[in-house]
Amino acid sequence: GGFTMVASAPAQRQRGEDMEARPSSEAHHKLGLPTSDDNDDERVPRLAMSSITPREFESRFVRTNRPCILIGVGSGWRACREWADAGRAIFEPLRERFGEEEVTVHDCSKKVLGRYRTSEMRLDALFALWERGEGASLYLKDWNLAMTATAAEGEWYTTPPHFASDWLNGFAHATEQGSDHRFVYVGRASTFTPLHTDVLCSYSWSFNVAGEKKWWLIPPEDGWRLRADSSAGALAHDLRELKSGDASFPGWDAEARSRVLCVRQRPGEAIFVPSCWVHQVSNETDAISINHNWLNGNCAARCWDFLQARRDEIVRIVEGCADDEDTTQQILEFKWSFNFSSWARLLICALDASLLKVETTLAQLASVGFGGDAQ
């Protein structure tokens, strides 16, 4: 058979010995957090994608900014046929097709200034390490597979219609940027993404092609509690490491901990992460996922508020920026991918796309005699 890299649970535990120690379920209870066995199905509902229309989805979840999981999403996707076998990850097709691609890997066993150390390597070199039983802590993230020269548009998957109203990637494509916000993630069991919000506090959807993930979701009103000294400082790394009464996070109290949502995502499921929700993710098994950051008119005001708040932080923290808006805007774009000017261009691009869609629809209606003399 091919190189599937599917291991038994004992083997996965052995591979993960070089990973950072993770608190146990008992420790989670002491911290007031959901345990690994908890699943907030009531607060994070699971729905068959076929049971809810895109318009209903927008009304129930996007406009209300609430998370949910859609099941039955990847039916017919080539990615699901070739990268998974009964829900388990198969890496050989990726190596055969994309082995020469340079990718960015995060080492979940080594932190530099509070962040995982990153490095560039060829995809086939990463898989070779895993095949030898090495590099279990290396996590391939933010891989722009959809924009690689060898991947045709829509070849491996298609964006579900529930997530299709996307100003963020539409702007990247209209302005012919070298990358966008459509990613593939590939990681071994126990690799981890620390607490964060997505770019510009946008939405995200993440589909599990193979494997299982565990998500911790914190509502926007509690995000400030996870920043050092309850200010604009860096987010905490891992909820499971926070202890009650931690002086650096005085706002992280029992009431806030009770609002944390913890859900397990299975193969074939897509999770919707709303705007401004802080979240962290653990790969419970070897996993392959497809992830898009996206935004539209339903969250544009939150994104703009976020960008203004980050600009004000720069002015407050960086000496000289109070009298130098040009430098402030350069720093803003360097750190957050957007500044006020590029945000304005994104809005104009979204408006142009909407007008074009209206014009196309009107032309189609006119061609069949809508509004004319047809009986």
pLDDT digits (tens), the chain, 375 positions: 344 554 433 334 334 334 444 444 454 544 556 554 456 767 899 999 999 999 999 999 999 999 999 999 999 999 999 999 999 999 999 999 999 999 999 999 998 878 899 999 999 999 999 999 999 999 999 999 988 866 676 789 999 999 999 999 999 999 999 899 999 999 999 999 999 999 999 999 999 999 999 999 999 999 999 988 656 678 999 999 998 778 888 889 999 999 999 999 999 999 999 999 999 999 999 999 999 999 999 999 999 999 999 999 999 999 999 999 999 999 999 999 999 999 999 999 999 999 998 988 888 888 887 655 544
Pairing relationship of beta strands 102-112 and 261-265 according to DSSP bridges: unpaired
Q: Which of 194, 263, 199, 200 is nearest to 33 (CA)?
A: 263
Q: How far apart are CA 300 and CA 317, in angstroms?
A: 26
Q: What's the pLDDT score for residue 113? A: 79
Q: What's the pLDDT score for residue 151? A: 66
Q: How far apart are CA 219 and CA 202, in angstroms?
A: 14
- Cβ pair 141, 104 in contact under 8 A: yes
pTM attached to this predicted model? 0.86
Find all residues with CB under 8 Å of 294, minimum gap 6, and list them.
163, 165, 166, 167, 168, 169, 181, 202, 203, 204, 205
The amino acid sitting at 214 is K
Q: How far apart are CA 238 and CA 235, in angstroms?
A: 9
C-alpha to C-alpha distances, 87 to 16, 134, 246, 285, nearest whole angstrom:
20, 23, 40, 10
Q: Which of 265, 258, 233, 262 is nearest to 247 (CA)?
A: 233
Two structure tokens written together for 81: 């046929």
Q: What's the pLDDT score for residue 74? A: 94
Two structure tokens written together for 187: 């990681």
Cα three-residue angle 267-197-292, rounded to 5 degrees: 45
